[in-house]
Amino acid sequence: MGAYILRRILLMIPTLFGIMAISFAVIQFAPGGPVEQVIARLTNQGGSDRLGGGGGDAGGSNVDVAGDVSSKYRGAQGLDPEFIKKLEKQFGFDKPPLERFGMMLWNYARFDFGDSYFRDISVLDLILEKMPVSISIGLWITLLSYLISIPLGIRKAVKDGSTFDVWTSGVVIVGYAIPGFLFGIMLMVLFAGGSFWDWFPLRGLTSDNWDQLSWSGKIVDYFWHMTLPLTALVLSAFATTTLLTKNSFLEEIRKQYVVTARAKGLSERKVLYGHVFRNAMLIVIAGFPGAFISAFFTGSLLIENIFSLDGLGLLGFRSVVERDYPVVFANLYIFSLLGLFVGLLSDLIYTWVDPRIDFERRDV
């Protein structure tokens, strides 16, 4: 197992390099970079009158002085070319792309993510500041989906083909088909002061008077704010795991060892939980780390935006819109690395749940 773990860790290096290289290459062709963002803000505020030379006429001498510097950026005409060069140097765009990419990889290997372009804070501190919200969402969604889906999936497998199975399958399929963000908007309209009831808060993870509440009041307030986001996310999350659990149990129930156990006179409960459960839950349990990471970041992206939860999803969205590349690439690097280690952890959980699995005998 040690050799397998070492090989997997070594394979993470080229995989992570490929992810970052492709993303960096795509960014080079994306319009509206950070320099353009600053220019747009300045020109919208009339900044060109204060910072640039006069004469925005395309045939005037100012354009000739600006040369290729201002022509590279939309809306830069009329701004001092020296100011544009300072912006490029500030954001690191005065260096060739390959040099910037190499410096980024060297810094990221040491977990030095630099500072945000548009926030007066280091990227690592910014991510750590937002992480508790996303961890809270991811943890609760994963636990709730497993607590609902595993018993429901087992029940559906035992009652396969019954009225209970048919009706619950309909509910599960509808829940899976409805996007979480759409369900979240519907919940806001119904229960957050839209057109119907005003039972739950519209945004935020806690109330404004959080610091003044008792510890029990803080717990109630926290779950009061989390009810709608968790409900919106758990609907599609438990649907997938429920069907996976049911199919896994059905496959095991039809195997010969179950027939043998029943022939020996074992009760149905002992057959189900003493023999079938361990084998059937192998794929479900092994997928727990991946499900948590998915809910931790990807699944909460739109929900955090809808309910104004200041987590990593909302941070990533705003960073992409603002072209805050240090935050964008740091998020990509951290979660790509985390995803690779989670894949390895899932394999190790497989061997822990079922020692018969030996990855040493397989090619990576």
Q: What are the structure tokens assigned to 295, written together?
A: 């809910």
Residue 76, SS3 per DSSP: coil
* Position 269 in a domain: yes
Do residues 241 and 355 share a domain? Answer: yes
Q: What are the structure tokens assigned to 296, written together?
A: 């931790």
Contact (CB, 8 A) for 179 and 236:
yes
Domain that holds residue 80: 33-109
DSSP class of residue 355 equals T
Do residues 176 and 92 share a domain? Answer: no
Enter the pTM of the model.
Answer: 0.70
- Dump pLDDT digits (tens) for 296-338: 665 567 777 778 788 887 788 888 888 888 888 998 898 888 8
Backbone angles phi, psi at 85, to 5 degrees: -65, -35
Within 8 A by CB and 6+ apart from 38, the residues are 87
Do residues 43 and 127 share a domain? Answer: no
Q: What CATH number corresponds to the domain at position 182?
A: 1.10.3720.10
Q: What pLDDT tens digit does each residue of the chain (364 aa) get?
A: 677 788 888 888 999 999 999 988 888 777 777 777 777 777 665 443 333 333 333 333 344 434 455 456 665 566 667 777 777 777 777 788 888 899 999 999 888 888 888 888 889 888 888 888 888 887 888 888 888 888 888 888 888 888 888 898 888 888 778 777 788 888 888 887 767 788 888 777 777 787 788 888 888 888 888 888 888 888 767 777 788 888 888 888 888 888 888 888 878 778 877 778 777 777 677 666 666 666 666 556 777 777 878 888 778 888 888 888 888 899 889 888 888 887 788 777 777 766 666 666 654 4
Backbone angles phi, psi at 79, to 5 degrees: -90, 150
Do residues 157 and 83 share a domain? Answer: no
Do residues 53 and 149 share a domain? Answer: no
Task: Tell me the C-alpha distance between 73 and 31, whole Å.
Answer: 9
Q: Which helix (H) or strand (E) holds 312?
A: helix 312-322
Q: Determine the residue type at 246.
A: K
**Pick from 84, 109, 134: which residue ends a domain?**
109
**Pick from 79, 109, 139: which residue ends a domain?**
109
Do residues 176 and 316 share a domain? Answer: yes
Angle ∠(359,363,364) on CA atoms, nearest 5 = 80
- Dump pLDDT digits (tens) for 80-111: 677 777 777 777 777 888 888 999 999 998 88
- Residue-wise burial string across 57-67, b where 16 or more C-beta atoms lie within 10 A, e elsewhere: eeeeebbeebe
- Residue-wise burial string across 317-326, b where 16 or more C-beta atoms lie within 10 A, e elsewhere: eebeebbbbb
Number of domains in the chain: 2
Do residues 184 and 231 share a domain? Answer: yes
User: In Å, how far are 114, 178, 229, 271 from 320, measured between CA atoms?
Assistant: 17, 26, 23, 52
Do residues 143 and 98 share a domain? Answer: no
Do residues 350 and 269 share a domain? Answer: yes
* Position 11 in a domain: no
**Pick from 81, 109, 137: which residue ends a domain?**
109
Contact (CB, 8 A) for 315 and 119:
no
Do residues 314 and 290 share a domain? Answer: yes
